[in-house]
Structure 1
Amino acid sequence: MIDDRRRKFGARLALLRRTAGLSQRQLAARLCMVSGPATVTHNEISRWERGERIPNDWLPLIARALSVPLADLERAAAHARGDITAPQPRQDVETLRQLLATEDLLVPVPTRPGGRLGAQAVAVLAGRVHGLRLADDVLAGQDLIGPAFRELGEAARLHREHTFTEETGRALLVQVGELAQIAGWIASDAGCGDHAEQAYRLGISAARQAGDRPLLGQLEGSLAYHWSNNGRARDGRDLARAALTDAGPAAHPKTRALFLDRIAWTHTRTGEPQPALTALGRAHEALSADATEEAPQWAYWVSEDELRVMDARVATELRRPLRAVPLLTEVLATYDPTHAREIALYRSWLAMALADANEPEQAAEQARNVIAGGVASERIAERSRVLLHRLGAFAEVPEVRALLDGYDHLLRQERQ
C-alpha cells in the first residue's frame, strides 16, 4: 500500500507537470535531453506520480524542466520520505537576539574606542541601507535576515563607539532608524515576529533622537502594520493613527499616503469598514497632492499602483470581490516580474477574492501559482495556508481537489 505522504507528493508532481502543459511522455523527453547518459521513461514518471517512488536523484532536473524552485521540491520530497526534522534556530536570529538584548544600543560606550567618524562614513552606510531595501524587492526575508541584522549591528556599533559632530550624529541616527525599519520588515517576513518588533522599537528610539518626524511615523506605522497582522489589531489601529500625527503636517505627500494606507488596513483588521474606506480615499488624495521637495528615499516604492493594491486587499477582506478582482488583475498584468514575493502576495488576495466570487477553478489556479512559487517568505507560507483552508469549501471541484491533495503537507505541518 502506498504511504499517504508519497501519494500526496505524487499528486503534487502531477499537478506541476500539468501546470507546465506537459504530458508524461513530454516530461520524460525533456528530462532525457538534460540528463546526459541517464534516461527516464514516461512509465517511471507515472510511478512517481502514483507515489510508488520518490525521484530523489532527479529532483534538480525536474525542477529545471518544470521551472519550479528546487528547494520547494526537495522539501516536499523530504516530507514524503518522512525524514523532515525540526528546523534548527538560525544563527542570524541568535545574533539578533544578542544584539537586541542590550539595554539601549544607542547609548555610547564611555571610552569611544572607534575614534572620529565623518560624514563620508555615514554616506557609505546610507548607500548600503538603500541597497538592502532594493534587495528586499527581489529577495525574501529568509534570504536577507542575516545581512540585514549584521548591518544593523554595525550601524549601532558605529554610534556607540565613535565620536562625531552633532550633524553627523543626527545623520547616523537617521540611518540606524532606516536600517531598523527594513530589518524589522525582513524579520517579520522571515517569521521572526518578536525580533521584528524589537528592531522597530530600536528604530523608533533612533528616529526620535534624530528629530526625524516622518521617519518616526514610518517606524511607528511599520510596527502598527505588524501588530495588526499578528493578533493586536486594535493596538495596531491606534498606533497607525498616532504615526500619522507624529509624522507631522509637513510630511511629504507620498509618506502621508503611506501612513493613511496603513490606517486603512488596520481599520479593516478591526472590522471597521467605513473608516477604512475613508482612509483609502484620503491616501489617494494625499498622493495626488503637489510636493515642493523630494520624498524620503525610503518612500521610493509608494505609487498609485500600490495604493490600488491596498484598495483591493481591503475590498477582499470586506468580502467585496467584484471590486477586488478587477483591481488586482489590472495591477498584476503590469507588475515587475522580478518582485516575486509581492506578486505572490497579490495573487493570494486575488485567489481569495475569486473564491468569494464563487469562481473556485480560477481561485485554485491563482493559489497554485502562489504556493508553487517557493518564495522563502513566512508571509507567503501563511497566505498559502489561509488559501488552502478557504478553498476547502470547494473540495468537490476537481481543480481544487488536486490543489488540496498536492499541498496537503502544508496543512499537516501547521497541525504539528
Structure 2
Amino acid sequence: MAKRLAEAADARTRDRLPERESLVRMIKDWEAGRHQPKDPYRVLYSRVFTVDEAELFADRQAAPGRAPADVLKDLLSQTQPLVPPINHRGRRLGVNTVDDLSARVHGLRLADDVIAGKDLIRPAFRELDAAVRVYRCNTYTEDVGRSLLAAIGEFAQISGWVASDAGEHQQAADTYRLGISAAHEAADNTLESNLIGSLAYQVTNIGAPYEGVELARAAVERAGPHAPARARALSWDRLAWAHARAGQAQEAMRALGEAASALNAHGVEEEPGYLYWVDANELQIMEARVYTELRRPLRAVPLLTEVLARYDATHTRELALYLSWLAVALADANEPEEAARATERVLDLSAEVASDRTAQRACVVLARLEAYRDVPQVRDLLVDHPSSAPVSSHEKVQGAD
C-alpha cells in the first residue's frame, strides 16, 4: 500500500512523503483505526482505489454525493472524456476489474426492474462516473481497455434509461451519446446498436418520431445480420415503435415482422447480459403498443390481456405502464367501463412509484377517458383524480412511452 500511495502521488507530493518505513507505520495506524489519514493521504487513497474521497472515508459531514446532472456535466466538459491521460501512474488493471464492473452494471440493470428512476438515478450516475474514472486513471492492455470501454457503454445505457424514467430527458440523451462513443471506441457493434436504439426510443417518445426513425434505422444497420438474435430483435422492435409514432403503419408492421423473425432465431449463441429481458412477451407487448398507437384496439386488447395475465407483478412500473396501454386500447374499442377498471389499477400501482413514465402515462389515460365522462364508472374515477383535465400536447408526448 505504501508503494501504491507513492505511485499515485505527483512529483512534488512524492518528494514530501516520509521514508517507506515511516509510511508503513502510518498505514498500520490508519488501518487499525487509531488515526484518520489527512491530506495528502486521503487524496492518494482515493486515487489508488478510484473512489470519491468522501465515499471512501465515509465522511458524513461532506455533501451526499454530486447530483447526476453535475456528474454528467463534468464528464462531458472534458475535451476527450474517454481518452486516458498520458503517462498516468495508476494501477495495472486486468480482467478481474472488468468482471467486477460487469457484475456491477448487471446488478444496476436488475435493480431497475424493481426500483424506479427517481430513486435509482443517483446510484446509476455514481457508477457511471466511477467506471469512467477506472478507465482514465489506470493502465491496462489494449484488450482490457476495450472491455473497460464496453463496460462504460453498458453503464451509460442503463444510466440513460434511468434518467429518462426520472424525467431527465436531455440528460438521458447526452448519456446515451457518451455510451455510443464508448461502444464505438470499443468496436462493439452490438452494444453500439443498443445505445443508438435507446437514443432512438428516447427521442421518439419526447416528440421527434422522424428523428427516432432515422436513429432506429441506424441501430438496425449497426447491429447487422450477425449480431445475436435478441439484439437484432430489439433493434427492429424500436424501429417499429418509431414508425408507429410517426404514423407509418406499413413500415411499423414490417419492422414487427422482422423483430419476430430475429427472435425466432434465438438459440444458445453467446450474447451480452443486457439482452436478458428481450423475449416473446416483450415483443408481444410492443406489438400491442404499436396497434394501440395506430388505433387498432381489436388487435391490441387481446395481446395485452394475454401478456398481463402472466406478467411478473414485482415489476410494478412496467405493469402499470402496460396496463395504461390496455386502458387506452379499451377506450378506443368503446369499452369505457373496462378502461376505467384498468386505469384504476394503473393509478393504484403507480401511486408509490417514483417514475416520470408512470406519472405521465396516468395523465394520458385520464385525458383519454374524458370523452366518456358521462359513464358512471369513468365519472367517479375522474372526480377522484382531478388531474384528469386534458393534458398538454407536451405532456402527452412525455407520457408516450
Same fold, TM-score > 0.5, yes or no: yes
CA deviation vs aligned residue, 1:331-385 (integer Å, no higher than 9, x gap):
0010111111110110000000000011111111111111222221111111111
Correspondence for 1:227: 203
The whole-number CA distance in structure 1 between the counterparts of 2:391 and 2:127 is 33
Partner of 1:312: 288
Q: Secondary structure at the match of 1:302?
A: coil
> What is the DSSP-based 3-state SS (H/G/I as helix, E as strand, rest coil) of the residue aligned with 2:69?
helix
Equivalent-residue separation in structure 1 for 2:389 and 2:157 (angstroms)? 31
What letter is aligned with 1:116? Answer: R
Segments of 5+ residues of structure 1 without an aligned counterpart are 1-89
Instruction: Quote how far apart the aligned CAs of 1:113 are.
Output: 4.5
Taking the TM superposition and a 5 Å limit, the aligned residue runs for 1:48-197 are: 91-197=67-173
Show the counterpart of 1:349: 325
Q: Could you give the per-residue CA deviations for residues 101-135 of structure 1, whole angstroms, max 9, x where no partner exists?
A: 33332122235243222211111011000000011
Aligned Cα root-mean-square deviation (Å): 1.8
Preserved CA contact (<8 Å) 1:111 1:161:
no
> Are 1:283 and 2:259 an aligned pair?
yes
Give the Cα–Cα distance (whole angstroms) in 2 for the partners of residues 406 and 238 of structure 1.
Answer: 42
Which structure has the higher relative contact order (CA within 8 Å, separation 6+)? 1
Report the number of matched residues: 327
Q: Report the equivalent of 1:383.
A: 361
Partner of 1:335: 311
Query: Residue in 2 aligned with 1:238?
Result: 214
Scaled by the length of structure 1, what TM-score is found? 0.76
Q: Distance in 1 between matches of 2:325 and 2:387?
A: 22
- Decide whether the 8 Å contact of 1:361 with 1:399 is kept in 2: yes
2:238 corresponds to: 262
Alignment partner, residue 348 of structure 2: 372
Deviation of residue 93 (structure 1)? Answer: 3.4
Matched residue SS, 1:116:
coil
TM-fit CA distance, 1:247: 1.5
Alignment deviations for residues 246-280 of structure 1 (CA, whole Å, 9 cap, x no partner)? 11221011111111101100000111000100110
Secondary structure of the 2:309 match is: helix
Q: Tell me, which stretches of 5 or more residues in structure 2 are unaligned?
A: 1-65, 396-401
Q: In 1, Cα distance between the equivalents of 2:263 and 2:300?
A: 21
Query: Cα 1:124–1:411, aligned 2, differ >3 Å: closer, same or farther?
Result: farther
Identity of aligned residues (%): 54
Inter-partner Cα distance in structure 1 for 2:266 and 2:321: 31
1:393 alignment partner AA: A
Asked if 1 retains the 8 angstrom alpha-carbon contact of 2:93 and 2:140, the reply is yes
Cα deviation, residue 394, structure 1: 0.7
**Structure 1 residue 412: Cα displacement:** 9.3
Question: How far 1:413 sits from its partner (Å)?
Answer: 9.5
Q: Which amino acid aligns with 2:77?
A: A
Whole-angstrom CA distance in 2 between matches of 1:361 and 1:149: 43
Distance 1:397 1:275 in 2: 37
2:250 and 2:390 map into 1 onto residues whose CA distance is 38
User: 1:269 & 1:111 partners in 2: Cα distance?
Assistant: 49
Equivalent residues of 2:367, 2:388 under 8 A apart: no
Q: Are residue 322 (structure 1) and residue 298 (structure 2) matched?
A: yes
Q: TM-score, normalised by structure 2?
A: 0.78
User: How many Å separate the matches in 1 of 2:260 and 2:194?
Assistant: 18
- Letter of the 1:167 partner, please give it: D
Residue from 209, 214, 228 that aligns with 2:185: 209
Letter in 2 for 1:378: D
Give, in whole Å, the separation in 1 of the partners of 2:297 and 2:133. Answer: 49
